[in-house]
């Protein structure tokens, strides 16, 4: 593939843009995870069952899945900066008002608003990063991805601490209020740049779905992404409760431990994967997919370990190494997809991919919640390792049979920048 390569032009890394988007994604993740962290307090205060809590979590994910194809379409035809801004404003406001919830119905409505508005962030932001950091795409997307882990960790630590001191409602007030302030900062400082992707083909609402379905590689990558989301949503929803009930940890300790060990190692994994994928992709672009497959394959045994073991130290080992290899996978989610999708429809197609993944993953917390009274959370968690293996197989199939045929020539590899 050396004939596809040209020497990259050195240019300064734009830290302000990636930093602003980093904080936006931080609260995108923190605001969705805070519900899981304070879940035992909500259950006690509002007298909700495990099944009802699982349904609330599933409705949240379904909301993301249903709205994200619309979000991808909007991200391709409108200003990505404006899409990001108003997404941030709406989800932060809904998070703030979640603190006023009085029961099942109000929680479902507000969490659905948070989920549907958060859906508009990722397609626009990831496509904007892909356009602005063409020669450093793997690194830039990996740095952006670290905010996911930081947001989840901080919501686990700070959210649980505030909830125990001032009640679960105060945690929603704080995170929602800061997000509204961040909206103002981004409105003033985010520079979308002069990059615009034009096409003679008209983009419609169904463009992303059609583009995804017409690409076997993208479909296989979507299957793998759906497997990761299924595992991730189930883990994030029930891991704090798992530690709280099985090992009698305090709410703060359980929330922190469930999020910290997994995500601090995922933080390391995504940086390692992002840094070396850019270097390896110069030699063979297929390494991007290979890195993802390795992440899922090697992560599966450690998911099994954390659910199977009866010793807390080994639970932490399982969480940590599961997190590291999850980060390896995460480092190339969109960089791999962009290899086989034309630039002018990337937001739409990534939106379609997220839709399928989240509609599938939304069943995970409800299934684990229903199984919890009979088979227990331990069984539910270690059974998720099988889902990771299915995802790894899907990526290996793409590498073996479809990827080379669909590669967008000269786009994903390093080219001379026009910025």
Q: What is the rounded CA–CA span in Å between residue 199 and residue 220?
A: 26
Tell me, what's the pLDDT at 355?
A: 87
Report how far residue 230's alpha carbon sits from residue 233's, in angstroms, rounded to the nearest whole number.
6
Burial class, 370, CB count within 10 angstroms (exposed 0-12 / middle 13-18 / buried 19+): middle
**Tens digit of pLDDT for each residue in 65-85?**
788 888 888 888 888 899 999
What are the tens digits of pLDDT across the range 180-218?
999 999 999 887 654 444 444 567 767 888 999 999 999
The region of weakest confidence among 14-23, 87-96, 361-370, 406-415 is 406-415
How many CA atoms within 13 Å lie on the side-chain side of 98? 35
**Mean pLDDT for the chain overall:** 86
Provide the whole-model pTM: 0.77
**Using one digit for the tens of pLDDT, what is the confidence trace for 285-344?**
899 999 999 999 999 999 999 988 899 999 999 999 999 999 999 999 988 998 999 888
Going by C-alpha positions, the residue among 217, 323, 238, 282 that lies closest to residue 43 is: 238
What is the per-residue pLDDT across 348-380, written as a single tens digit (0 to 9) for each? 898 899 888 988 888 888 888 888 888 888 888
Give residue 7's pLDDT. 35
Is the separation of the CB atoms in 383 and 310 below 8 Å? no
The whole-number pLDDT of residue 351 equals 86
pLDDT value for 64: 83
pLDDT given at position 132: 81
Query: How far is residue 220's CA from residue 353's CA, in Å, rounded to a whole number?
Result: 10
Running DSSP on this structure, what letter comes out for residue 194? S
DSSP 103: S
Q: Is 400 exposed, middle or buried (0-12, 13-18, 19+ CB in 10 A)?
A: exposed
Kindly write down the DSSP assignment for every residue of 240-295, as one continuous string. HHHHHHHS---HHHHHHHHHHHHHHHHHHHHHHHHHHHHHHHHH-TTHHHHHHHHH
Query: What's the first-to-final CA gap in the chain, in angstroms?
Result: 25
8 Å CB contact between 141 and 58: no
- Rounded distance between C-alpha atoms, residue 29 and residue 31, angstroms: 5
Return the ∠ at Cα 145 (arms to 73 and 360), rounded to 5°.
55
Q: How many Cβ atoms from other residues are within 10 Å of residue 280's Cβ?
A: 16
pLDDT at position 192: 63
User: What whole-number distance in Å separates Cα of residue 299 and Cα of residue 303?
Assistant: 7
Tokens 């843009």 sit on residue? 17
What gap in Å lies between CA 72 and CA 8, rounded to an integer?
A: 29
- The per-residue pLDDT for range 89-99, each reduced to its tens digit, is 999 999 999 99
Residue 409 pLDDT = 62
Alpha-carbon torsion (228, 278, 323, 29), positive or negative:
negative
pLDDT in tens, 29-39: 888 878 887 88
Domains of the chain (ranges; CATH) run 2-194+203-406 (1.20.1250.20)
**What integer is the mean pLDDT of 54-68?**
85
* pLDDT over threshold 70, residue 1: no
Contacts of 379 (CB under 8 A, 6+ apart): 307, 371
∠ at Cα 341 (353, 14), nearest 5°? 90
* Predicted local distance difference test score (pLDDT) of residue 373: 82
Report pLDDT for 251.
Answer: 75
Burial of 14 (0-12, 13-18, 19+ CB in 10 A): middle
Whole-angstrom distance, CA of residue 388 vs CA of residue 241? 22
Structural contact between residues 219 and 121, judged by C-beta atoms closer than 8 angstroms: no
Look at residue 112 in the predicted model and tell me its pLDDT: 95
User: Helical H runs in 12-136?
Assistant: 15-37, 39-46, 50-77, 80-98, 104-118, 121-132
The tally of CA atoms less than 13 A away on the side-chain side of residue 99 is 21
């Amino acid at each position: 593939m050396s004939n596809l390569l040209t020497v990259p032009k050195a240019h300064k890394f734009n830290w302000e843009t990636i930093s602003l988007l980093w904080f936006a994604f931080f609260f995108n993740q923190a605001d969705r995870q805070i519900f899981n962290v304070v879940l035992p307090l909500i259950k006690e205060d509002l007298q909700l069952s495990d099944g009802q809590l699982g349904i609330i979590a599933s409705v949240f994910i379904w909301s993301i899945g249903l709205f994200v194809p619309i979000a991808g379409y909007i991200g391709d035809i409108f200003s990505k900066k404006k899409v990001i801004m108003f997404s941030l404003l709406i989800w932060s406001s809904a998070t703030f008002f979640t603190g006023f919830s009085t029961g099942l119905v109000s929680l479902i409505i507000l969490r659905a608003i948070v989920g549907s508005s958060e859906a508009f962030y990722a397609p626009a932001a990831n496509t904007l990063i892909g356009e602005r950091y063409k020669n450093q795409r793997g690194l830039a997307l990996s740095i952006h991805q670290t905010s996911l882990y930081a947001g989840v960790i901080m919501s686990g630590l700070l959210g649980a601490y505030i909830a125990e001191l001032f009640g679960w409602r105060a945690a929603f007030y704080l995170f929602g209020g800061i997000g509204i302030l961040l909206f103002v900062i981004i409105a003033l400082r985010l520079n979308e740049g002069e990059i615009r992707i034009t096409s003679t083909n008209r983009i419609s609402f169904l463009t992303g779905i059609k583009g995804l379905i017409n690409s076997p590689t993208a479909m296989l990558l979507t299957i793998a992404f759906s497997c990761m989301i299924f595992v991730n949503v189930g883990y994030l929803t029930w891991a704090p409760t798992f530690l709280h009930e099985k090992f009698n940890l305090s709410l703060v300790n359980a929330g922190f431990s469930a999020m910290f060990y997994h995500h601090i190692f995922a933080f390391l994994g995504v940086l390692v994967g992002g840094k070396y994928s850019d270097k390896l992709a110069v030699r063979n672009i297929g390494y991007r997919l290979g890195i993802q497959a390795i992440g899922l394959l090697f992560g599966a045994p450690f998911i099994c370990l954390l659910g199977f073991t009866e010793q807390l130290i080994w639970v932490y080992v399982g969480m940590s190494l599961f997190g590291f290899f999850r980060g390896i996978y995460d480092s190339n989610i969109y960089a791999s997809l962009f290899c086989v999708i034309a630039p002018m429809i990337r937001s739409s197609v990534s939106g379609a991919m997220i839709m399928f993944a989240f509609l599938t993953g939304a069943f995970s917390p409800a299934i684990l919640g229903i199984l919890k009274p009979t088979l227990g959370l331990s069984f539910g968690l270690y059974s998720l390792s099988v889902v990771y293996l299915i995802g790894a197989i899907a990526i290996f199939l793409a590498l073996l049979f479809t990827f080379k045929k669909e590669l967008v020539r000269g786009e994903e590899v390093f080219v001379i920048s026009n910025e």
